[in-house]
Structure formats: C-alpha cells, structure tokens
Amino acid sequence: MALAGLTSEFQIYYEKLGSGTPIVFLHPPAMSHLVFRYQKDLSLSCQTIFPDIRGHGRSSVKGANTFSIFDLADDVANLLDHLLIDEAFICGYSSGGSIAQAFVQKYPQRTKGLILSGGFSEVSTFALKKQFQSGIKLAKNTPALLNQILVSTHSNTAQDRKEMLSYHKQSDPKSWVRYYKESLSFDCTDQIKEWRFPLLFIYGDLAEHMHPYRRIYQRNVHPKAQFVMLTKALHQLPIKHYESFNAEIKRFVTGLT
C-alpha cells in the first residue's frame, strides 16, 4: 500500500511501499518520483520511499528562487522525521545525487548507506556543464519542451510517457531552474574522503561523459566502497536497466542488514 503525507513545514508528497530497511529515492530536476516507478519492486524486500522534491510533482513550492541544495537535504530529514525513521539508505539518481550527498554530509548519523546512480561530486567537465546549461535554458524558456525531452528518455512504454507528461505539468519550472543551478554549483569532492558509511556507485558503461566522475570517487572514497558498471547501458539506469539496477541495490542493502 502506498502512503502519502506531509512534512512538518510544508507539503512534500511521497509514496511509501513495503517494510523493513528504508531506502529514500531522490530524483533529478524537472522530474518526479515517477522516474523510480520500476524501483517499486524493491518494496518486496525493503521499505521504499519516493518523494517529489519541493516544487516538483505534488510537493509544495517553497523559496523557488532561494532554496539551497542543503534545504532540499533538510526536506529529506524532515520527511524521515515525519515517518519516524532514524536512519535510511539514501539513493540519488543523477542530480538527485547532489541532494543525497548534501544529506549524508549534513546528517551522517542518519545515513545507513549512500547509493549513487550516475553520480558526481562536482560539475567540472565541459560535457556535463553544457548539459546543465541546456536544462536551465529550457526550464526557463520552454518547460513543456524540457518535459517532453526528459520523459522521452525516461520511459519505456506509451503509458509511462502519458502519465509522466501529465504529472510533471503540476510542477513549478522556477523550482526546476533553482534545482539545476544548485546542483551545478554543488561541490563535495573535498568531503568525500571523510565518508565512512557504506557506498555503492552505479554507472552505465556507455555513459562515457560520467566516467571522469566515477574516477574522482575511486581516487577519494574509502577502499570498501563498491563500484558497479552495468553493461551496454547509458545514464538512465533506474528506467532502462531497472532489473540489473534493482538487483545491485538489493544485493548492497541486504548484505549490510
């Protein structure tokens, strides 16, 4: 059964499925919890929590032009408080990883482990900077077009596309822009050496523009960190390669609990 509720400050829409070890899934800008529709299968073995980031989907808009990535991390902490959860695994996909890393940096005592899919601790390459700049420009000027582009690359069926296109129209494009900008400027590379909790990094072998960021983590995080490369895969792992992606998360989480 899916549950929806409120945080203590303002409305954060979420869906919670299953029981046991909690995992919070954090989506990128201009998207929603629907990007993790195929991770609902994980609720058979753990507790899965899928929030809409503020200003996205059904969640309230707050400080659309002023919030920081750490404010979004606080939203996650408030959601855990609301659900009476002391600590959880935090899973961030793409820019959702910026919130995830801000959370573990600010709340290490509440972190059972960090899972990053296509993660980056900074935005320092030309290719990724251009991707962010394009997203910001589209979010400002043609948000409907950005919605169409993202949905087309993050769906497997016509029904997926129809549902996501409609759902994302509820979102606030100004919040998309802010989220993009905050993730673009976020940099925790100096801090990742201090992480002591379990780590799982998942990348697609064909997403070559993300490999420099994988190497940054490999040089800096603790030696017990786990790195997985999914074969014949691009960046959209939770959607396009969900069976392998889910299997790696299940293996990681159950191996630590």
Q: What is the pLDDT of residues 114-167, one digit of tens each?
A: 999 999 999 999 999 999 999 999 999 999 999 999 999 999 999 999 999 999
- Amino acid 64: pLDDT: 87
Q: Which two tokens stand for residue 41?
A: 């299968």
- Amino acid 10: pLDDT: 74
Q: Pick the closest to residue 7 from 85, 123, 64 (CA basis).
A: 85
> What is the C-alpha to C-alpha distance for residues 101 and 187, in angstroms, rounded to an integer?
9
Q: Describe the strand order of the beta sheet including 47-51 as a list of residue ranges.
A: 14-17, 47-51, 22-26, 88-93, 111-117, 199-204, 226-230
- Amino acid 4: pLDDT: 54
Pairing of strands 47-51, 111-117: unpaired
Within a 13 Å sphere around the CA of 172, how many CA atoms are in the beta-carbon half?
16
Sign of the alpha-carbon dihedral angle for 227, 156, 128, 73: negative
Domain limits of the chain? 14-254
- Amino acid 5: pLDDT: 56
Angle, alpha carbons 29-30-31 (nearest 5°): 90
Enumerate residue ranges in the chain where pLDDT < 70: 1-9
How much is the pTM? 0.96
- Amino acid 8: pLDDT: 53
- Amino acid 257: pLDDT: 74
* CATH of region 14-254, choose from 1.10.940.10, 3.40.50.1820, 3.40.50.300, 1.50.10.10: 3.40.50.1820
